Structure 1
């Protein structure tokens, strides 16, 4: 991230965020990049670097719980209403009033909520892998959600949540980082087996053999692997797993319940980028919001031949889809 200015800012509720800035042309809306689990701002490097040529201001934060940013361990600190305000505080500090909200994985969910909570500031929405899902005040029931997904998709797509959202999840992951890394970055069949079956992830993390899982080419890079190991051994998983716990305990529903119903409709240009080998975050998940008329300005990019972590595996393909959309709507 040497090409960006590294900065910190203490937001109004007291947490300190680290973020990376490319000033760009202040007359253009900023690009706000939001990473997911269990990544950090660096995930966006090979996407943000080539997009600097468009001369938008760019801001890439380490999100709450990660790397250079504060890491509270109480799930309620990760509610959408307060996390979106954290990012607004940073943008305000940088004199940015309009921005395009871009996210991957949990960062995609946050990118969507940036629009839902602050529609006066978001002029575009780009979701990678995780489809746009409108705010809901409904209580979250993991078993019921997986039963529904098994009925519609043939598999309980949130099967991995039984360890990811569990009280002992951070400890299980910290003690088995090698296995976790292989589960995340293995073949398409590996992801389907580990993530979309009830308790398969816990079984593999506690009893499996990492060497039995073939890594995808990008994940074999020792520098990439060591950076992940060093960061997560230093920081732990208590903060990152709060992103799951806050939903599993219906705290996000509690937050969303206060939003006006009209906030569900995305009245700005939106782009969805999905991946062929992502067994969990399937492009079909966009269908309910489309059918409900909540995405009137949606464009769906050509599917990328990649698994879930496309910003690492195929960043040039992400740029190829994102750049023309940005030029079309925001040049």
Structure 2
């Protein structure tokens, strides 16, 4: 990230008493502000390509360290990770910055938060963009990870979320903290197909991390980014970040859809999907893996900018 932007970070105490550390850059002229919402196991730094690109072109930027990461609060209670509450945290930040014309962009666990914003607070946004689609789990109450893995095996011929079996264990934070280099190599692999065996298969990720093994890290994950990630996770630990998973496993988010009127349970604003989608949405296929904003930043940035220009120009 451009070093000059570090001084633009701020801190806020949200309406529910949590501290958020976030980057805020003011839009130039009539350009909209982009809200970047990262996922696991990251910080706002994961968006540095986008922050540099869009801020240089006059877009406003709000990029928070999400709950559990970086300079933001790190609750150990999974109930704090209710997505509707996190969505309100983000609105508190936008209110503090007095920004109205906003496009929300989510990646990984940021994607379900963006989905909540699109359903409950659509009027606050110009559009929504997903750098990855929400996790492939059944809607409504979470049936348990074993049931999900069985359903995935029947549907796809193999499980997809086997690593959740590792993350649900109380020992997982300590195991990861003791083997951070191994864990980071697993999270940011050079070969996306490594996840077919090391992430998708139950037991494989735990065995890999516990053994301290490493796989080749992707060139998209620079030395500077690597150092930042290590420092952040060593300082903050993994207990709080893993609550993004525990909040699902423990049913914290089970009844969100019950609180949303049926007519609001669909996207009512322009939408951009950087992976895949069905229906009349803007869909862009990329050649990389999970970390599209890091692996193909030039293409991702240009496609996102073009969508904002072509799709939102009338409302911007």
What TM-score do you get using the length of structure 1 for normalisation?
0.87
Worse overlay, 125-134 or 314-323: 125-134
8 Å Cα contact 1:34-1:61 kept in structure 2: yes
Contact 1:131 1:272 (C-alpha < 8 Å) held by counterparts? no
User: Residues of 2 paired with 1:131 and 1:72: CA distance?
Assistant: 23
Shift in CA distance, 330/52, structure 1 to aligned 2, threshold 3 Å: farther
**Where do 1:282-321 residues align within 5 Å?**
283=276, 286=277, 290=278, 296=280, 298-301=281-284, 303-321=285-303
Change (3 A) 1:87 1:133: farther
Q: Which residue of 1 aligns with 2:79?
A: 76
Partner in structure 1 of residue 224 of structure 2: 223
Aligned with 1:120: secondary structure? helix
1:130–1:45 CA distance, 2 compared to 1 (3 A): same
Q: How far apart in 1 are the matches of 2:130 and 2:17?
A: 29
Aligned to 2:116: 113
1:239-254 matched pairs, under 5 angstroms: 239-254=240-255
Q: Does 1:322 align with 2:304?
A: yes
Which has the higher mean CA deviation after the structures are superposed, 13-22 or 224-233?
224-233
For 1:29 and 1:75, how far apart are their aligned partners in 2? 33
- Give the aligned partner of residue 264 of structure 2: 263
Which residue pairs with 1:280 in the alignment? none
1:180 to 176, 180, 183: 183
SS, match of residue 253 in structure 2: helix
Seen in structure 2, the aligned counterparts of structure 1 residues 259 and 133 have a Cα distance that, compared at 3 Å, is farther
Aligned to 1:191: 195
Partner deviation per Cα, 1:68-87 (whole Å, 9 max, x = no partner): 11111101101011100011
Can you give the 5+ residue segments of structure 1 that lack an aligned partner in the other structure? 275-282
Deviation at 1:247, TM superposition (A): 0.8
CA-to-aligned-CA distance 1:267-302 (integer Å, 9 cap, x gap): 11101102xxxxxxxx4xx4xxx3xxxx64x1101x
Shift of 1:172: 1.6
Greater Cα shift, 181-190 or 155-164: 181-190
Distance 2:268 2:138 in 1: 15
Conservation of the 8 A alpha-carbon contact between 1:157 and 1:195: yes
| Aligned counterparts of 1:232 and 1:205: Cα–Cα separation in 2 | 15
SS of 1:86's equivalent? helix
Count of residues in correspondence between the two structures? 309
Deviations 1:253-273 (A, max 9, x none): 133322212222101110110
**Residue 316 of structure 1: SS of its match in structure 2?**
helix
Cα separation, 2, equivalents of 1:136 and 1:96: 32
* Partner Cα distance (2:252, 2:118) in 1: 19
Distance in 2, matches of 1:314 and 1:257, equals 37
Per the normalisation by structure 2, the TM-score is 0.91
Q: Distance in 2 between matches of 1:134 and 1:270?
A: 21
Change over 3 Å in CA distance of 1:134–1:322 after alignment to 2: farther
CA deviation after TM superposition for structure 1 residue 29, in Å: 3.6
Asked whether the equivalents of residues 76 and 243 of structure 2 are also in contact (C-alpha less than 8 Å), the reply is yes
CA distance in 1, matches of 2:298, 2:100: 29
Aligned to 1:278: none
